[in-house]
């Protein structure tokens, strides 16, 4: 490969990695806002890029023409085999800790791992959650859903605490509550989209209690039973978010503002769901920027 081709390949890798990171702007909460120290922002974005890419692999959302399979040592056509991709991604992740990974987002993650002394466990949890998504598409009980969130959501909060050097057992417990709540809220916003992927994150026991069937979830708009079910799940997620909110008051400075943003993102999303009359089927109810800012202020006043 000539120098020009090599430069083009580097630019292509950078552009494809940036496409993953750009999804941060569409989250319910700020991923790495401007007011954080640059080192924190860089490390948080490296972790976000990892988490986003794992989800894209598990959801089959890798754009056509991307080189992810090649970077992971697989033939390009393997990009459609989600379990094979997750297995290869796990193998490449392990190289982050003792060698040199092949995927550019994992190479970008390696300095963060070394600088912050991060361990493999939370990263492996996110991969296992996406493996579970290939095997499990329905959840019988609320407890089953919480166990899934332990893999799919809680590792992210634990990584934030590790990056900022603020992890304690009590903060981890509160963080887990916030992260699980945020995951459940996202599922509530995305009921229709998830069903199109043949996934239902509303517990079957709760659906039966409210007399809701999957045919009801496939309707263009939610009937009274669906809206009652969504309201019930939203209130339960709100209780969980409240349980975790003291995490904000346990830290200081810019980290307090970051964590308030996480909590506020969940509260603003719940407010948007309520404002839609708990009818989430036409499309995900989204919080406004003004609504998010109001919730940030409210959270800081309560936890100041």
DSSP structure class, residue 200: B
pTM of the predicted model as reported, rounded to 2 decimal places? 0.89
Which pLDDT belongs to residue 21?
A: 54
What mean pLDDT do residues 88-106 have? Answer: 97
Residue 88 pLDDT grade (very low, low, confident, very high; cuts 50, 70, 90): very high
SS3 label, residue 138: strand
Give the least confident one: 10-24, 70-84, 131-145, 286-300: 10-24
What is the C-alpha to C-alpha distance for residues 297 and 157, in angstroms, rounded to an integer? 21
Average pLDDT, the chain: 91
166-191 b/e (C-beta count within 10 Å ≥ 16 → b): bbeeebbebbbbbbbbbbbbbbbbbb
Which pLDDT belongs to residue 23?
A: 55
Which pLDDT belongs to residue 30?
A: 55
Which pLDDT belongs to residue 261?
A: 93
Which pLDDT belongs to residue 9?
A: 41
What is the C-alpha to C-alpha distance for residues 97 and 94, in angstroms, rounded to an integer? 6
Dihedral of CA 227/207/152/242: which sign?
Answer: positive
Which pLDDT belongs to residue 12?
A: 44
Give the least confident one: 28-42, 173-187, 209-223: 28-42
Residue 6 pLDDT grade (very low, low, confident, very high; cuts 50, 70, 90): very low
pLDDT at 109 > cutoff 70: yes
């Amino acid at each position: 490969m000539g120098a020009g081709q090599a430069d083009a390949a580097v630019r292509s890798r950078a552009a494809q990695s940036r496409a993953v990171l750009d999804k941060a702007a569409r989250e319910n909460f700020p991923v790495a806002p401007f007011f954080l120290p640059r080192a924190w922002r860089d490390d948080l974005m490296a972790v976000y890029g990892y988490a986003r890419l794992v989800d894209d692999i598990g959801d089959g959302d890798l754009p056509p023409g991307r080189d992810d399979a090649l970077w992971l040592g697989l033939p390009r056509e393997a990009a459609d085999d989600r379990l094979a991709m997750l297995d290869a991604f796990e193998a490449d992740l392990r190289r982050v800790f003792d060698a040199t990974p092949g995927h550019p987002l994992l190479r970008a993650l390696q300095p963060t791992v070394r600088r912050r002394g991060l361990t493999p466990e939370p990263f492996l949890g996110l991969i296992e959650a996406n493996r579970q998504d290939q095997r499990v598409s329905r959840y019988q009980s609320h407890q089953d859903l919480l166990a899934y969130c332990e893999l799919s959501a809680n590792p992210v909060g634990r990584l934030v605490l590790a990056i900022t050097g603020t992890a304690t057992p009590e903060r981890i417990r509160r963080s887990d509550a916030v992260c699980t709540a945020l995951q459940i809220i996202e599922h509530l916003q995305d009921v229709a989209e998830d069903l199109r992927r043949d996934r239902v994150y509303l517990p079957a026991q709760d659906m039966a209690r409210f007399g809701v069937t999957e045919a009801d979830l496939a309707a263009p708009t939610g009937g009274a039973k669906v809206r009652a079910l969504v309201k019930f799940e939203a209130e339960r997620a709100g209780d969980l978010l409240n349980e975790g909110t003291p995490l904000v008051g346990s830290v200081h400075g810019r980290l307090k503002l970051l964590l308030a943003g996480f909590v506020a993102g969940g509260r603003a999303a719940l407010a948007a769901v309520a404002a839609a009359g708990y009818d989430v089927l036409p499309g995900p109810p989204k919080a406004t920027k003004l609504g998010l800012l109001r919730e940030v202020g409210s959270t800081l006043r309560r936890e100041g």
